[in-house]
A and B are shown apart, each in its own frame.
Chain A
């Protein structure tokens, strides 16, 4: 990866595709000191995620969580968004590319467009709205979706009749009919491809009658139907007669896992879980008990905690029908008769109001052409060809890939991969960091400390999330009557870019000096609104948020009047608090330019190596004597690649890298400090020598291990073994017990997973079984191999190997949890009894070996979790800050996670996640300084009696009695919890931003209206 000579590479990167992956890669790179050109062929950024209603497994509203990212990308000084742009060619080599981009005309100048919408209101032409999946119409002058970034209109010249109306009404003079395509050449050091996927078009499948019956919709159409900003405003309706359906069917694997009617034999990896999500959300939207059935082959809920989501859906009454759907036929005027073959082989039928086709991903022809122009190889499914151990590198050095072009995947995987690609690109261009970036100048800050409070209140409708329950206009008018309020307004989406820009303008114009936003939750949106204040020239602390969505409209959906009353009170409390808020100044402190990486497996090794590549010092701490971790026990990947040479090479690179210090037989004995400046002590080596490590960030890659089964007689007979033990036997066959000589093998899946104790799926065991079955078959084609499974979770391209296994005669027999197989040992004899779901009876077969696909369990992290104060789930895996958009960050800043410590995953997936953690850590370190102060505690020396209450009660031992014999709190160290403040008998300590009077103001305001 060191193709570029020092100083000769460009400090900028071209990111192609601005979906969630492209946006994440851009943000990581831009925050790491690279200038980013972000090109997207559409007039806006956001990709498919912007079209989704809710996201699994948290049921977060997709727009709510992507919107802050859109805004961040849109505002980032070092991200240059190039809309309507396509890459024509890419010359040069890694470190020094010249890309030629063709920008199609938008016909509206973004620099002057205010997004007022006048052009749209006069536009006489209508066309189908692609964003809403053609379920409604839009004008020729349009914005793809209301929260779109860049926040400006575009004219669709394909349908425009050129009447000139919009040009006449546009006061800003932004309409330019004569806009021409432009060719631009840009010089970049690396390219990241994130163009995304298309969704399979089922029109050609005549058995499903999608093209013929309006009530057969695709999953993405259904997302738009559910969406509050969709064609039906979030009301659950079927297209034919706009009636609320009472019975909906989801048909899985449409356009995937099939070569009949489509060319996509692979699994699309996301449809099972999104179908469950759609069913759960639809039930929520319905006004009565909605009947939801999901017709599926294998339920592939293999992601982190997805199995629990599946179980909850079953509890909610979603029906799961294991079957093959034969046809969808008309029933009556608009109902649908679904004929399907049930698992027992019987042909059955049932009538539904509506059917949702769970359509899969595929690489579009335009993307195939793009890959060709860029000179990168694609695999047989048209996805980018990548190395098993370097999943973000394409065949062309310096060109990286992430998101669904790399393979079908969900949002967290795309986000991880995006960060991973950013890390790879960042390491390539490390010496040119900060050479092409710009710095932001905020407008000069206005000192408002001597002004009386002048409060602006902005009430959000959040689409219909708030406005559908709470009477927003009434809340707004009520706010107008509150003391110190000089401006009120309500907005459809207060967080959208256009609203933000306008808010800053309003604040400046009206001289507002405190802002209250009544909307969603400060946990996600406070940073965004604080930024708005900075843009308006105000201190960011002069802000308070009333949570009238998560803690009001969403939890009091059936009590509209009371929810409105509550919203008014919450606004009143916020306004009272806002009036008391003070400006606080942050201070800069340095960040130690090094990282502590805990765990020397594949993830830890890659994270350390990439950080070193980015130019940071890394300390790698491993508890064992050897580096390599769990991967050392794996001989080959399912693709057939040898793992050992890779691990050896990786260890060698780490060992010889001057920027990495390796400590083995090491354990963390203490962890102190705060983000940017941690101090850890580590005992390492046989003599337990103590090392003190100063580091700015920490990455946890503590790994996982194979569960020692307590099931199926494991341990009572040496021919009952786990997959890892089989791996060892295949690789090094013992002379006496060569597995190649076995006549019959039975493998049992889900041992120690998907059960009561461990409700999660271990993700990787299905492929282990198939991998080993194929290896055994290769050695001895006569061998009979049975895999007893519950669902074969061969997601993505792994499906190829599942198909190969079935072609090779490996028998897959499914069992239910109420009919688990039984392993019987009789002296040296070994037999398995299982219920055959096709024959519908119990079968007993003798076996030479029984292989248990044992769960992957998190390694013991009790000590480190409590030292670093990071959370773990019930199964001991670390919990990331956000399951969707912050998959490798911990909620505590400066600490990251990767590899199997996060959840079970394949080697390649661990590498990606390790790079992602390195990217996030690197972008934190690259800032070099950090703001401290703000909401911390201060001692009033006059009142302090040096009673030591604060000294004793502080969780961090920060307060000290100084030379003047009063307590003193270091603002850089204070974490701002406020313990000392409540404990101090003399009220000598105040916590800024949570001052006594500020809290009391809220308490008083709670009742002020009564």
Chain B
């Protein structure tokens, strides 16, 4: 972090070998300047970017993550690796939102190997935007402990999310052949149906996961849980009921608190 008043955001970029990395290189060849905060990691395809990588980056205290791939339908891998990345990012943004992290901290862009200037423009927009947001958690009003706790609770759910995402939340293949696939993806992931599914199968899991992690540290009352997690007492109570039925937590009548089972 910066020493003076200036905030130097810590940015990670994971970018594909074929397009975005070439674009970032060309940006250098063309001597286009951008703020020096981002550190880039090269992967062969943006589809290699795992939800786990993004959550680990945030857990480690990074302020934002950038994912760069080839333009849609230009992917080196028979034009569909980057659609997987697109779906992953959409889900990831929903998850971030769900735990109270500004989804703008995750940015996903397409940059071709010939678009040095585009890469520079994105970097010149992204870094100041994150600078404005401030360190991770600050704009979200989350203290470091809560933040870490929420990120870890989500990270634990990743295998489950991948399974249900594959089964229930996967954008239909036909969207890829539309003339505006990105807009179609947007529509799909913001549709009522998907939002409901997401709430039903992921959000509740996420809340339970957070509650159980919280209880593992010590017994808490419904009120304490709801204030720590920033959720309504009724929502917490509902999830506590479900979790007790599943045998994940139990109510300790002596302590008048919930404890981890």
What string of 1s and 0s marks CB contacts (under 8 Å) between B158-181 and chain A? 011011001000000000000000
B62 and A1007 contacting across the interface, CB-CB below 8 Å: yes
A contact residues around B29 at 8 Å (CB) = 58-61, 550, 554
B42 and A559 contacting across the interface, CB-CB below 8 Å: no
Which of A152-160, A262-270, A978-986 is near enough to bind chain B? A978-986
Question: Nearest chain A CB to B163's CB is how many angstroms away?
Answer: 5
B28 and A555 contacting across the interface, CB-CB below 8 Å: yes
Question: Nearest chain B CB to A446's CB is how many angstroms away?
Answer: 27
Is A1003 interfacial (CB 8 A cutoff)? yes
User: How distant is the Cα of A703 from the Cα of B36 in the complex, in angstroms?
Assistant: 44
In this complex, what residue of A is CB-closest to B158? A985
B166 and A952 contacting across the interface, CB-CB below 8 Å: yes
In this complex, what residue of B is CB-closest to A980? B47
Residues of A in contact, count (CB < 8 Å): 63
A1003 and B162 contacting across the interface, CB-CB below 8 Å: no
What string of 1s and 0s marks CB contacts (under 8 Å) between B37-68 and chain A? 00111111101111111001100111000000
> In the complex where A554-B31, A977-B44 touch, is A982 in contact with B60 (Cβ < 8 A)?
no
B78 and A1002 contacting across the interface, CB-CB below 8 Å: no
A1007 and B53 contacting across the interface, CB-CB below 8 Å: no
Is A521 interfacial (CB 8 A cutoff)? yes
B contact residues around A984 at 8 Å (CB) = 162
- Among candidates B50, B78, B88, B163, residue contacting A869 with C-beta atoms closer than 8 Å: B78
User: How distant is the Cα of A982 from the Cα of B69 in the complex, in angstroms?
Assistant: 15
User: How distant is the Cα of A981 from the Cα of B162 in the complex, in angstroms?
Assistant: 11
A1010 and B36 contacting across the interface, CB-CB below 8 Å: no
B contact residues around A475 at 8 Å (CB) = none
B31 and A1010 contacting across the interface, CB-CB below 8 Å: no
> In the complex where A947-B163, A979-B81, A984-B162 touch, is A550 in contact with B25 (Cβ < 8 A)?
yes
A contact residues around B14 at 8 Å (CB) = 999
B77 and A891 contacting across the interface, CB-CB below 8 Å: no
User: How distant is the Cα of A982 from the Cα of B162 in the complex, in angstroms?
Assistant: 9
What string of 1s and 0s marks CB contacts (under 8 Å) between B1-24 and chain A? 100000010101010011001101
Is B76 interfacial (CB 8 A cutoff)? yes
B contact residues around A1002 at 8 Å (CB) = 41
A contact residues around B41 at 8 Å (CB) = 573, 999, 1002-1003
> In the complex where A523-B21, A556-B36 touch, is A975 in contact with B77 (Cβ < 8 A)?
yes
A contact residues around B57 at 8 Å (CB) = 1003, 1006
Question: Nearest chain A CB to B209's CB is how many angstroms away?
Answer: 16
User: How distant is the Cα of A97 from the Cα of B47 in the complex, in angstroms?
Assistant: 55
User: How distant is the Cα of A282 from the Cα of B133 in the complex, in angstroms?
Assistant: 39
Is B190 interfacial (CB 8 A cutoff)? no
Is B233 interfacial (CB 8 A cutoff)? no
Question: Nearest chain B CB to A873's CB is how many angstroms away?
Answer: 8
B47 and A979 contacting across the interface, CB-CB below 8 Å: yes
B contact residues around A559 at 8 Å (CB) = 36
> In the complex where A284-B31, A569-B39 touch, is A1000 in contact with B53 (Cβ < 8 A)?
yes
> In the complex where A522-B42, A1000-B56 touch, is A956 in contact with B47 (Cβ < 8 A)?
no
- Among candidates B10, B84, B88, B159, residue contacting A1010 with C-beta atoms closer than 8 Å: B10
Is A307 interfacial (CB 8 A cutoff)? no
Question: Nearest chain B CB to A759's CB is how many angstroms away?
Answer: 14
Residues of B in contact, count (CB < 8 Å): 60
Question: Nearest chain B CB to A308's CB is how many angstroms away?
Answer: 11
B114 and A573 contacting across the interface, CB-CB below 8 Å: no
Is A929 interfacial (CB 8 A cutoff)? no
B30 and A1003 contacting across the interface, CB-CB below 8 Å: no
> In the complex where A871-B74, A977-B77, A1006-B12 touch, is A551 in contact with B40 (Cβ < 8 A)?
yes
Question: Nearest chain A CB to B49's CB is how many angstroms away?
Answer: 6
Is B34 interfacial (CB 8 A cutoff)? yes
- Among candidates A284, A879, A978, residue contacting B43 with C-beta atoms closer than 8 Å: A978
User: How distant is the Cα of A506 from the Cα of B63 in the complex, in angstroms?
Assistant: 40
User: How distant is the Cα of A562 from the Cα of B43 in the complex, in angstroms?
Assistant: 25
Is B73 interfacial (CB 8 A cutoff)? yes
A866 and B33 contacting across the interface, CB-CB below 8 Å: no
A566 and B44 contacting across the interface, CB-CB below 8 Å: no
A552 and B76 contacting across the interface, CB-CB below 8 Å: no
A979 and B84 contacting across the interface, CB-CB below 8 Å: yes
User: How distant is the Cα of A549 from the Cα of B31 in the complex, in angstroms?
Assistant: 10
A contact residues around B10 at 8 Å (CB) = 1006-1007, 1010
User: How distant is the Cα of A975 from the Cα of B76 in the complex, in angstroms?
Assistant: 10
A983 and B162 contacting across the interface, CB-CB below 8 Å: yes
Is A626 interfacial (CB 8 A cutoff)? no
Is A976 interfacial (CB 8 A cutoff)? yes
Is A935 interfacial (CB 8 A cutoff)? yes
A contact residues around B232 at 8 Å (CB) = none
Is B106 interfacial (CB 8 A cutoff)? no
- Among candidates A891, A955, A956, residue contacting B18 with C-beta atoms closer than 8 Å: A891
B contact residues around A873 at 8 Å (CB) = 114
Is A714 interfacial (CB 8 A cutoff)? no
Question: Nearest chain B CB to A112's CB is how many angstroms away?
Answer: 39
B contact residues around A977 at 8 Å (CB) = 44-45, 47-48, 76-77, 81
- The winner among A554, A570, A981, A987 for most chain B CB atoms within 10 A is A554
Question: Nearest chain B CB to A987's CB is how many angstroms away?
Answer: 7
A contact residues around B27 at 8 Å (CB) = 550-551, 555
Is A666 interfacial (CB 8 A cutoff)? no
B34 and A955 contacting across the interface, CB-CB below 8 Å: no
- Among candidates A555, A565, A569, residue contacting B31 with C-beta atoms closer than 8 Å: A555
Is A892 interfacial (CB 8 A cutoff)? yes
B contact residues around A1006 at 8 Å (CB) = 10, 12, 39, 57, 60, 62
> In the complex where A552-B36, A570-B39, A1006-B62 touch, is A985 in contact with B81 (Cβ < 8 A)?
no
What string of 1s and 0s marks CB contacts (under 8 Å) between A819-862 and chain B? 00000000000000000000000000000000000000000000
B28 and A978 contacting across the interface, CB-CB below 8 Å: no
Is A768 interfacial (CB 8 A cutoff)? no
B36 and A982 contacting across the interface, CB-CB below 8 Å: no
Question: Nearest chain B CB to A193's CB is how many angstroms away?
Answer: 33
A contact residues around B77 at 8 Å (CB) = 955-956, 975, 977, 979
B166 and A955 contacting across the interface, CB-CB below 8 Å: no
User: How distant is the Cα of A981 from the Cα of B84 in the complex, in angstroms?
Assistant: 12
A935 and B44 contacting across the interface, CB-CB below 8 Å: yes
- The winner among B8, B29, B61, B75 for most chain A CB atoms within 10 A is B29
In this complex, what residue of B is CB-closest to A949? B166
Is B79 interfacial (CB 8 A cutoff)? yes
User: How distant is the Cα of A1006 from the Cα of B11 in the complex, in angstroms?
Assistant: 9
Question: Nearest chain B CB to A13's CB is how many angstroms away?
Answer: 34
Is A88 interfacial (CB 8 A cutoff)? no
B contact residues around A551 at 8 Å (CB) = 24-25, 27-28, 40
A866 and B12 contacting across the interface, CB-CB below 8 Å: no
Is A558 interfacial (CB 8 A cutoff)? yes
- Among candidates B30, B32, B81, residue contacting A955 with C-beta atoms closer than 8 Å: B81
> In the complex where A557-B33, A987-B159 touch, is A1003 in contact with B12 (Cβ < 8 A)?
yes
B47 and A978 contacting across the interface, CB-CB below 8 Å: yes
| A 643-672 contacts with B by CB, 8 A | none
B contact residues around A983 at 8 Å (CB) = 47, 84, 162, 166
What string of 1s and 0s marks CB contacts (under 8 Å) between A516-549 and chain B? 0000011100000000000000000000000101
Question: Nearest chain B CB to A252's CB is how many angstroms away?
Answer: 25
Is B80 interfacial (CB 8 A cutoff)? yes
In this complex, what residue of A is CB-closest to B60? A1007
B48 and A978 contacting across the interface, CB-CB below 8 Å: yes
User: How distant is the Cα of A552 from the Cα of B162 in the complex, in angstroms?
Assistant: 35
Is B120 interfacial (CB 8 A cutoff)? yes
A contact residues around B50 at 8 Å (CB) = 981-982, 996, 999
Can you identify 9 A-B contacts, CB atoms within 8 angstroms? A551-B27, A556-B34, A556-B35, A956-B77, A978-B48, A982-B50, A982-B84, A1010-B1, A1010-B10
| 17 extra interface residue pairs, beta carbon distance < 8 Å, beyond A555-B34, A956-B78 | A58-B26, A284-B31, A523-B21, A547-B40, A549-B28, A566-B36, A573-B41, A892-B76, A947-B166, A949-B166, A955-B77, A982-B88, A985-B159, A985-B160, A1003-B57, A1006-B12, A1007-B60
Instruction: State the 4 A-B residue pairs at the shortest beta-carbon distance, nearest first.
Output: A978-B48, A550-B28, A554-B28, A977-B45
